[in-house]
A = this chain, B = another copy of it.
Amino acid sequence: MAVILQIDFTMPAEMLGENLTNAARELAESINQEPGFISKIWTENAATGEAGGIYHFTDRASAQAYLEMHSKRVEAMGAEQIRSRIFDINETLTAINAGQTGKGQPGH
């Protein structure tokens, strides 16, 4: 069953927005190749100096393995106070609220 991985951390505000877009394009392309990866929403807040991601993975083990790898990677980029959770999805309630439970359509 697909799971949600949510990660967030502090990151200097000047690294976010357009600068992150330019710096992380290849990183984003590489994430598409990670085992079990389905999708990622890139999250950021320049006002608080925080960023992160909301991921779908096909299974918990893949999400956990990615989390361990990615945590070290973002730490090396300046992230601090990394906080993560891996959640199951309540499919019935999510379907009522039009939430995505798996592979989505880019650009919606």
Contact = CB atoms under 8 A, between A and B. Distances in A.
Identical copies in the complex: 2
Task: State the majority secondary structure of interface residues on A.
Answer: mixed
Interface in A73-108: 85-90, 92-108
A99 B40 contact: yes
30 contacts: A4-B43, A6-B6, A6-B43, A6-B54, A8-B85, A8-B87, A21-B92, A25-B92, A25-B96, A31-B97, A32-B97, A38-B98, A39-B97, A40-B98, A41-B94, A41-B99, A42-B89, A42-B90, A42-B93, A43-B90, A44-B89, A45-B85, A45-B88, A51-B87, A52-B87, A95-B106, A98-B104, A101-B108, A104-B104, A105-B108
